[in-house]
A and B are shown apart, each in its own frame.
Chain A
């Protein structure tokens, strides 16, 4: 099955700096890559996603890049704010059997220091 590796597991940045979280996936047939943000005491919430026919997608301060050849994708947060502090999960969906299933990375705890 699919395997998703996520790095780093923890990340601390100063407010206003950028944060980058990287994920690699094992199945070259994967074609959908969402990112979820989980705040303390809440369930994860989708913040951005990208499909395999696109190399980059932006939404205000958040961007995701995808390198299909290298099988990795990254989340970029610019001008970080304290409210960006949370756990972030990447995920990948492969097109094989059970294609409803997302495989999640292990998560990155982002701390934005005011």
Chain B
């Protein structure tokens, strides 16, 4: 069964802290994505990766960075968390190519205080 897991369901961090969100997929997918979901704004792409060590900016990359050292793992990093980064973060993966289903993890609800 297809599976995307995220390291935490809920996370509370303080302003200025460095935050790591981890995502692991077990489907040998080449593509991995990080989205942010906010009420009334839908899903917005932060970064995606189409191969190990490769990354591309999405629509809202400011304040975030990513790391993909292994095919199955894609990390989202908030270098210095701010309150406006309080949100639900969703990771997804898909096979190589463009018109394939994206499989989503359950999400991490991050609160920055």
**Contact assessment for A43 and B92 in the assembled complex, using a CB-CB cutoff below 8 Å:** yes
Asked if B65 lies at the interface with its beta carbon under 8 angstroms from chain A, I say no
> Given the interface contacts A1-B59, A104-B43, A106-B42, does A99 sit within 8 Å of B106 by beta carbon?
no
What's the tally of chain A residues with a CB closer than 8 Å to chain B?
A: 26
Among A44-52, A64-72, A74-82, the one that faces the other chain is: A44-52
Total cross-chain contacts (CB, 8 A): 53
Give the B-binding residues of A (Cβ under 8 A).
Answer: 1, 6, 9, 32, 34, 36, 41-46, 49, 51, 89, 93, 98-107
Within 8 Å CB of A93, what residues of B? 98-99
Q: Which residues of A contact B41 (CB under 8 A)?
A: 106
Q: What's the least CB distance linking B104 to chain A, in Å?
A: 3
Known: A32-B99, A42-B106. A100 touches B31 (CB 8 A): yes
* In the complex with contacts A1-B59, A43-B4, A107-B42 CB distance below 8 A: yes
B42 touches A105 (CB 8 A): yes
- B residues in contact with A101, CB < 8 Å: 45, 48, 56, 58
Count chain A CB atoms within 10 A of each CB in B4, B31, B98 and give the residue with the most: B98
Question: How far is B98's CA from A107's CA once the two chains are assembled, in angstroms?
Answer: 22
The answer to whether A100 touches B101 (Cβ under 8 A) is: no
Interface string of B93-107 (1 = CB under 8 A from A): 000001101101111
Beyond the given pairs A34-B101, A102-B102, 11 more chain A to chain B contacts, judged by CB atoms under 8 angstroms and listed by A's residue number, are A1-B59, A36-B104, A43-B92, A43-B105, A44-B43, A49-B99, A101-B56, A103-B45, A104-B43, A105-B42, A107-B42
